[in-house]
A and B are shown apart, each in its own frame.
Chain A
């Protein structure tokens, strides 16, 4: 906000961008570069759509998403049915060839992407919800509440997720993608809580929060209406990271055989491929596409995030 006013006379604190929480001061005269929220959103969109990283990443992710969406329309039989010749390389009829059992790899691929995305959205969403709630409350309240929530965060952080998962698998069994997503969500939130707590701490000491208290508003209202909207860019980026992380986590679990076995997923495909010696037999079309897809999706998400960071933080843009 004060980028352009060099004559800021302020006792002590250093002026900062409007999106960055800090104890700021500002000039007595308005500066031309600051913008209204709508214009800022519009400006953010403008820069986002021109940022190569954002556009590139988004295109890749969307392409895969579309594929996953249309998967069931691709043919009338399920992905696990034996339809073609065994172990056939990619051809006009079977775009990604077939497995050792004659299953259509491309069909499996498309369905696999579907469940991967579900795991990402659901797992990421749950982690975001839990992490943000805990982060906001801990950061805003401070004191004993903060101590207690910190302890909870630390406990979850050090719990060996894999060990717990194996236990759960043995006793209850993780059958569906939804169950897997819930599990992923409940283990991925600690860093989110920490980060949001830190941001909330600094926003909390801003005077507009004091003013909201003087207006008789309750804590929950203040968090919802004053603090969270100020961090909207941060929250968006957090969600994208969680989405990518959940996808990776799900794929890993599937790959080592701890995921749901009923539906197809990219990790499960790779698991099967290794299990049935696809490597030795040279059936590259069975394990390379899923692996590449996961890398591409997660990589693109992270790339988008880097790009978005530049968009929201103009100082990082090469101007």
Chain B
């Protein structure tokens, strides 16, 4: 359904744009219908930039993004609006996503005005109730209220409802629960997982591995803009092959065991361990192929990149 092919994003920085900053390096992956794909990375990994490029909020520097086979990397105007009928986004900060001086349900009415103007009032009302029901919100409690009168969880759910109004097929969820409290997070997550059954695909962007593991079918691990490991979630988490993935997993605080009392001040040099990528390739080495962004197959639906990638 959604496919990224060697997508890169390069910013010009410095005085007079003399220097270049590569935020995303030749990233390729795909999202199938009804599948949740997690983009996991720390800050600076480029995951938000990728999300914004998919949503066409940021232009693509190189590479192609195709949706249902159609190249959407450069569209604008009416074709862009058509694209938005199928692809929508929800962002991190629920209180920043709503214009504070207007009522919260305005975001729903905006969608009606832009895309569903042909509907009669009754039809609109029905669609609205359906969407709110799918996200388990009570219309009486959330309509006609201002954003500050609702909780973060309710606001995020309303944004998902907004996407459902449009028969969205791909939802880009950028850290949507990181600003919510622990007790409401899981409800919103469960909601997303439940929407999978409707055939909704989700691009789930997060820095939290536990969340990615909980909800996604496939996972892409990003470091400094490049994909270092990707594949079926179960495989990536059970058998982490890239040193970065291993380090991330080791740093995640778990409730069933404590960290070893290792001195955290000295992170291990990545080049010191094995490089599974080069072992599989049986050619080249980490030093000679340092700029290469490519993946080798560890297993069916489990790919890994060079150990030095993104360091």
The answer on direct contact between A and B (beta carbons under 8 Å) is yes
Q: Could you list which residues of chain A lie within 8 angstroms of chain B, going by C-beta atoms? A: 1, 9-11, 18, 23-31, 34, 36-37, 40, 206-208, 210-217, 226, 229-230
In the complex, how many angstroms separate the beta carbon of B181 from the nearest chain A beta carbon?
Answer: 5
The contact of A30 among B57, B80, B150, by CB within 8 Å, is: B150
Q: Nearest-CB distance from A166 to chain B (Å)?
A: 38
Residues of chain B lying within 8 A (CB to CB) of residue A28: 151-153, 179-181, 184
A141 to chain B, nearest CB (A): 13
Complexed CA–CA distance, A206 and B102 (Å): 15
B91 interface residue (CB < 8 Å to A): yes
Whether B57 lies near A216 (C-beta < 8 A) is no
Contact residues in B for A230 (Cβ distance below 8 Å): 99-101
The interface size of chain B toward A, counting residues with CB under 8 Å, comes to 37
With contacts A30-B148, A214-B88, A216-B80 known, what are 14 further pairs, Cβ within 8 A?
A11-B179, A24-B93, A26-B93, A26-B148, A28-B184, A30-B149, A34-B148, A37-B101, A207-B92, A207-B96, A213-B57, A214-B89, A215-B107, A215-B111
**In chain B, what residue has the closest Cβ to A11?**
B178
CB pairs A–B below 8 angstroms (28 shown) = A1-B95, A9-B179, A11-B178, A18-B148, A24-B95, A25-B93, A25-B95, A26-B93, A26-B95, A28-B151, A28-B152, A28-B180, A30-B150, A40-B101, A207-B96, A208-B98, A210-B55, A210-B89, A211-B97, A214-B57, A215-B107, A216-B80, A216-B84, A216-B114, A216-B115, A226-B99, A229-B99, A229-B102
CB <8 Å contact, B100 and A215: no
Contact A208 B96 (CB under 8 A): yes
B146 in the interface (beta carbon within 8 A) = yes
A292 to B107 CA separation, bound complex (whole angstroms): 52
CB-CB under 8 A from A27, the residues of chain B are 152
Describe B's contact surface by its main secondary structure: loop
Which one of A11, A24, A30, A215 has the highest number of Cβ atoms from chain B below 10 Å of its Cβ? A215
Given contacts A1-B148, A28-B184, contact A212 B110 (CB under 8 A): yes
A-B interface, 7 closest residue pairs, ranked by CB to CB distance from nearest: A26-B95, A216-B81, A28-B152, A34-B148, A216-B114, A207-B97, A207-B91
Option from A9, A11, A24, A34 in Cβ contact (under 8 Å) with B96? A24
CB atoms of B96 and A23 under 8 A apart: yes
- Complex Cα distance A40/B179, Å? 26
Which of B95, B153, B179 neighbours the largest number of chain A CB atoms within 10 Å of its CB? B95
User: Taking CB as reference atom, which chain B residue is nearest A30?
Assistant: B148
Q: Looking at A10, A207, A212, A226, which has the most chain B CB atoms within 10 Å of its CB?
A: A207
> A208 contacts which of B89, B97, B148, B150 (Cβ < 8 Å)?
B97
Give the docked Cα–Cα distance between A211 and B172 (Å).
Answer: 12
Which of chain B's residues have a CB closer than 8 A to the CB of A215?
84, 107, 110-111, 114-115
Select A210's contact among B91, B153, B180, beta carbons within 8 Å: B91
CB atoms of B179 and A10 under 8 A apart: yes
**In the complex, what distance in Å separates the CA atom of A11 from the CA atom of B84?**
29
